[in-house]
Structure 1
Amino acid sequence: MSAASRPLAPAFGRGRAGTVPLPARSGPLAALLRWRPVLRSETLILLASLYFTALSNPVFWKAAVPAPIAPRWILSLVLMAVAAQGFLLGLLLWPRIWRGMLFALVLLAAIAGHYMAAYGIYIDADMVRNVVNTDWAEARDLLGPDVLRPLLVSLPALLFLARVRITPRRPGRVLLVRAMFLVAMVMLGLAGAAVSMQSLSSFLRNQREVRYLLTPANAVVSLAKVASERPRSARVQLPIGEDAVQLPAATMRRPRLLVLVVGETARAANWGLGGYHRQTTPALARRDVVNYPHVTACGSSTEVSLPCMFSPQGRADYDGKAIRGHQSVLHVLQRAGVSVLWRDNQSGCKGVCSGLAFEDFRGGTDRDLCRGAHCFDGILVRDLAAAARREPGDRVLVLHMLGNHGPTYSERYPAGFARYTPVCATSDLGRCERAHIVNAYDNALLYTDHVLGQAIDALAGMEDYDTALLYLSDHGESLGENRLYLHGMPHAIAPVEQLRVPMVAWFSRGWRRQTGLDIACVRGSAGLEYTHDNLFHTLLGLTDVRTTLYDPGRDIYLPCRRGSQAHAGEAGPGPYGRP
């Protein structure tokens, strides 16, 4: 074959001997694919700071910039926001890891911005703990197709990061230039503060929590705080109430069984017994219960409220680190001889029951009560009497409900409890009419009421025990008021819907007789203001356990027990359970 007739071999890239290279592709797409910008690392950091500040923070700007718009205040905020983001990125982005780190931050900012806009949440350390300590079943409820929208919007930034290159520097030069850049960011922040010092002073006094809306700085700083804490699995809780003893008379009578039901996300505003226009508590209304209409939660999330409500500090002396680092009132009861069992249908006890008897009902196989990863709360009371009788003597059973955990309220109850329709059946609450969200929420409350009725009936039939039940929700919920959904707002600015919670008590005749409890007195004081701070001392009082940690002034029932020095007609507990 002659050279003239020999076929040309295809080639890609550089030509090889005996081949002819293809002509270079042309056009906008080809030019874009060949585009490889080269930047200094500090230039990239500044561009990223501008991107995050301008394009990833609509929620922040809406909250921080009031009407009418003040140009000096906007300039001040822009300078301070860019400086804050730039300083943080300057600490995080280094050779070899900068590209992956920026990819992660762009995605984090997109997702955080989506949830802040969709549900009105703030991202602080408590919110991060909620996310980190949640289980897959709960997290899946929040992962709807709407999450894809912010990820698609962030694609141009991700494509830019995939193409950009950084000019290399010697290690010593990298450290010197970076130090100078960090100093420049500090100076830029100070300049921003000086532009509008009076507005900044007012802002810091009245809207400090808005800083939890500046993303990704809010998420990164909060993650760092949580990461610096010891993991719960490795945390050794310090003992409390080591002097606890149960009064001698407790061994000379029938055993007592107290069932404490910890509700989830039930708010007082929708509680039928509390005057709500719908009767969402018909089962409790038919039973001899005492309702407490004015109870305030320690926090607006399970991660805060659950440890707090079982601690001696409570909200009055709140110290989250100290609370998580010490045992709870349940350990005090166990130490004094009152056996404790925690039955969980939620996301665990957040350290409250560490080392105590624990039963996990998540992912159960009961065909009537379980659907996939979730079980309905009826599973907690299915064999209540049998569970109580496993141990002799006085018992405390804690039932941790799934309750009204959102956003998929419609999945928290069997079909037979769908009294109010139509309902919102998606996790994207912003797409639902508020009335449909409330319908689903109220149906879930109806089911909680049904489960509590079942528990009371089971306790009333236990003739070998004197029995009592106390129901108390861990926090409330926002259902679209002021465009807020779900819960978890910082306590200082949390709306009343997230902090006011229902509480109900029931006592058998045997319990009343044996403890000298005047039920008329109990009903008379039920309308006073109480908080989660009362629970620690009330549990000690109900079980006749005494320790130097016990504060009689916070024990709800002490004034109504015969033989106590308090009288029903005297002033009751104040806002924190104190006289």
Structure 2
Amino acid sequence: MDHRHAAFPVGPLSATRSRRGISPETLIALLSLYGALVFNGPFWTATLRGRSWTDPGTLAFAAAMLVMLVSLHIVLLGVLAIGRASRPVLVMVVACTAVASHFMRQYQVYLDPGMLANVLNSDVPEALELFTSGALGSMILYCAVPIALISLVKIRQRLLWRAVTIRLVVLLAAITATVGSILLVFQDFSSLMRNQREIRYLITPANYIYSITKLSVGSAGKSPSSKFVVGADAQQRRPLVERKPKLLVLVVGETVRAENVSLNGYRRQTTPKLSKLDVLSFSDVTACGTSTEVSLPCMFSAIGRRDYDESRIRSSESLLHVLDRAKVNVLWKDNQSGCKGVCSGLTQVRTDAAAGGPLCSESRCYDEILLDDIDRLIEQNVGDRVIVLHMLGNHGPAYYKRYPSDFRRFTPTCDTQELRSCTEASIVNTYDNAVLYTDHFLAAVVEHLKKASNTYDTAMLYVSDHGESLGEKGLYLHGAPWMIAPSEQTQVPMILWLSPQLAKDTAIDLGCMAHQTSKPWAHDNLFHSVIGLFEIDTQAYEATLDITAACKPK
């Protein structure tokens, strides 16, 4: 073969040049134009919101943004689509962009690194719930034309040196056009980016290509097995021989927002069983993040949102490691997508939908599966214990799959994952039914703890990882960038039940605690409150962040 001639960047190697067909740069430009017009609907909506088409400035701004989008993606595709792999690479980019565009339009989400991390770390059943027949049909419709173009068009071949030269010239021209188009409307553009920085995560495929790159670079060289030690000095203040052992069931909720919990004043009775128990419901609690991937490591860390540093959080030991060091037996039981590293090296149990039974179907189990052997687990070891139950909770969009039929109290319901095909009222009904099931679950946890009160001083603490949008402001699901996230996604329920004996033994004034429920709290308080509940001495503990500290003797 004559290596002086090469198919660059698309097509089989050939020993002769061919002037037939279109140039690879033309194909890239056509795909970039199609993407700018078809795949970037959310970007156009956000960018042109509030502008009048009767204003000549709007047309100029839109034209500049179109040039910017097309040129930017010519650069991206021009770098990615090189050599024999060009056709499959372009097909893959178009297919991924169709998927990204569909979910951005359907749920009004932003594909920033946090959202992409959440997507990539979802378990398979969770991910498959998003791919309905309607979603697949929409994706195929949007990517059929560009994929057909990539597959069927004949690509002109060039000598290697000529192909490289032309590609570099085109990339330079595209970079110049990108910068130039921004400079032409710089005042408008800079104001937009300054006030709505999140809009950049609506530019697709640039958004997910950037996010994937950032996640890859961020994870390079990290060793999950070696974590920074937290609370190396942790030890129990009183030995077991002087007191009863403590048992805390720490329930991590999923996607439950505070405003739909009737204990917090919601118009509907969604927590009838808990309302009959002596529970403390904290009505003003802010989550660490708007996704499980962010919130779970953050809420179990000593760092929290107040001093947020994702790298530091993920590379440090969690609350559970500090408890384990203080000789508190820790068990993580999961009905979701794992503990995101907060229970690494500790005992973990995952529910198994394949085992079948009345509580499991379609690769998922109702949350009561977490209580199947709870009494046996409690009786296994007599000593200080924490059992973490990680619920599936209200994980969307398939809210109707989160509760048994007996809990279908609020009707009509939205019995599909295609939320936009349902009325907002039916979505809320379905969501509230799932909250009702969580109420049933938590009340059952308390009953199990009451049975164990002869052996343990018992407590239950429930807190959701983040909230959920149910169509308000056109938003669905969760994962919005923190700076612009609505309260529906950031305000979460936190519910505490303390047995009278535990309250007495730890000198917690329950009357005082009732006055703490309306104060502003956050996920940041979890670490220090649990440490305080177990009366563990460590320099990592901050009393000002312990929700019980103000109700104990000074």
How high is the TM-score relative to the length of structure 1?
A: 0.88
Q: Among 379, 390, 397, which residue is 1:407 paired with?
A: 397
Q: Which region of structure 1 is more displaced relative to structure 2, 535-544 or 295-304?
A: 535-544
Distance in structure 2 (CA, Å) of the matches to 1:380 and 1:62: 44
| Residue 368 (structure 1) aligned with residue 358 (structure 2) | yes
Query: Separation in 1 of the partners of 2:478 and 2:37?
Result: 27
Determine if the alignment matches structure 1 residue 331 to structure 2 residue 321: yes
Partner of 2:96: 108
CA distance in 2, matches of 1:287, 1:248: 30
Q: How does 1:205-224 map to 2 (within 5 A)?
A: 205-224=194-213
Distance 2:487 2:221 in 1: 30
Instruction: After TM superposition, give the deviation of residue 190 of structure 1 in Å.
Output: 1.4
Task: Give me the whole-angstrom Cα distance separating, in 2, the residues matched to 1:546 and 1:310.
Answer: 18
- What residue identity is the alignment partner of 1:361? T
Match of 1:539 among 521, 530, 543: 530
Is 1:237–1:324's contact at 8 Å kept on the other side of the alignment? no
Q: Aligned equivalents of 2:310 and 2:259: distance in 1?
A: 27
Q: Which residue matches 1:241?
A: 230
C-alpha displacement of 1:343 = 0.5
Aligned-partner Cα distance in 2 for 1:439–1:172: 64
Q: Does 1:187 align with 2:167?
A: no
Q: What is the correspondence of 1:391-406 to structure 2 with a 5 Å cutoff?
A: 391-406=381-396
Identify the residue that residue 71 of structure 2 maps to in structure 1. 83
Counterpart in 1 of 2:37? 54
Cα offsets for 1:111-152 (capped at 9, x unmatched): 111111111111111111122111111112111111212312
Matches within 5 A, 1:58-457: 58-66=41-49, 67-69=51-53, 70-147=58-135, 148-230=137-219, 235-251=224-240, 252-363=242-353, 365-457=355-447
Native 8 Å contact 1:306 1:474 kept in 2: yes
Matched ranges for 1:566-577 at <5 A = none
* CA distance in 2 between partners of 1:231 and 1:543 (Å): 37
* Contact persistence 2:237–2:536 (CA under 8 A): no
- 2:84 partner SS: coil
Q: Cα 1:197–1:230, aligned 2, differ >3 Å: closer, same or farther? A: closer
Contact kept in structure 2, 1:340 and 1:357, CA below 8 Å? yes
Q: Residue 25 of structure 2 corresponds to which residue in structure 1?
A: 42
Larger Rg: 1
Following superposition, the deviation at residue 186 of structure 1 comes to 1.9
Deviation at 1:60, TM superposition (A): 1.1
CA RMSD of aligned residues (A): 1.7
CA contact (8 A) 2:237 2:535 kept: no
CA displacement, residues 388-417 of structure 1 (integer Å, 9 cap, x when unaligned): 232331111110000001111111111111
Which residue of the partner structure matches residue 513 of structure 1? 504
Deviates more, 1:151-160 or 1:208-217: 151-160
Task: Give secondary structure in 2 for the equivalent of 1:358.
Answer: strand
Residue 523 of structure 2 aligns with an amino acid whose one-letter code is H
- Using the alignment, how far apart are the partners of 1:47 and 1:527 within structure 2? 57
- Distance in 1 of aligned mates of 2:424 and 2:220: 39
Q: Which residue pairs with 2:11 in the alignment?
A: none
Distance 1:234 1:240, change over 3 A: closer
Contact 1:295 1:531 in 2 (8 A): yes
Q: Percent identity?
A: 44
Residue 350 of structure 1 and its aligned partner are, at CA, apart by 0.7
Residue 295 to residue 89, structure 1, CA distance change in 2 (3 Å): same
Q: SS where residue 504 of structure 1 aligns?
A: strand
Q: 1:479 — aligned with what?
A: 470
Q: Distance in 2 between matches of 1:421 and 1:37?
A: 63
Using the TM superposition, give the Cα deviation of residue 366 of structure 1 relative to its aligned residue in structure 2, in angstroms: 4.9
- State the distance in 1 between where 2:446 and 2:165 align: 70
TM-aligned CA deviation for residue 163 of structure 1: 1.6
8 Å Cα contact 1:111/1:151 also seen in 2: no
Unaligned 5+ segments in structure 1 are 1-35, 565-579
Deviates further, 538-547 or 522-531: 538-547
Corresponding position of 2:491: 500
Query: What amino acid maps onto 1:38 in structure 2?
Result: G
Unmatched segments (≥5 aa) in structure 2: 1-18
CA drift of 1:313 comes to: 1.7
Report if aligned partners of 1:250, 1:544 keep a CA contact under 8 Å in 2.
no
Is 1:466 equivalent to 2:449 in the alignment? no
CA distance in 1, matches of 2:209, 2:195: 24
- After TM superposition, what 4+ stretches of structure 1 lie above 4 angstroms from structure 2? 231-234
CA 185–546 in structure 1, closer or farther in 2 if over 3 Å, else same: farther
Distance in structure 1 (CA, Å) of the matches to 2:347 and 2:121: 20
1:548 alignment counterpart: 539
Aligned to 1:17: none
Are the equivalent residues in 2 in contact too, given 1:363–1:375 (CA < 8 A)? yes
Q: Is the 8 A contact 1:244 1:545 kept in 2?
A: no
Which whole-Å CA distance do the structure 2 matches of 1:199 and 1:146 have between them?
A: 38
Cα deviation 1:454-486 (Å, max 9, x = unaligned): 000110111100000100000000111111111
Could you tell me whether the CA contact under 8 Å between 1:341 and 1:357 is conserved in 2? yes
CA distance in 2, matches of 1:169, 1:37: 11
Taking a change above 3 Å as real, the CA distance of residues 158 and 500 of structure 1, as seen in their structure-2 partners, is: same
| SS in structure 2 of the partner of residue 38 of structure 1 | coil
Give the superposition deviation at 1:234: 5.9
The residue identity in structure 1 corresponding to 2:69 is: A
Using the TM superposition, name which of 234-243 and 538-547 deviates more.
234-243
Q: 1:97 to 1:139 in 2, by over 3 A?
A: same
Q: Aligned partners of 1:37, 1:116: CA distance in 2, in Å?
A: 39
Give the distance between the partners of 1:222 and 1:48, measured in 2 at CA: 21
**For the residues of structure 1 that align with 2:138 and 2:308, how far apart are their CA atoms?**
39
Q: Which residue of 1 aligns with 2:10?
A: none
Mapped to 2, the partners of 1:153 and 1:245 lie a distance apart of 57
Contact 1:130 1:301 in 2 (8 A): yes
Q: 2:44 corresponds to which letter in structure 1?
A: W
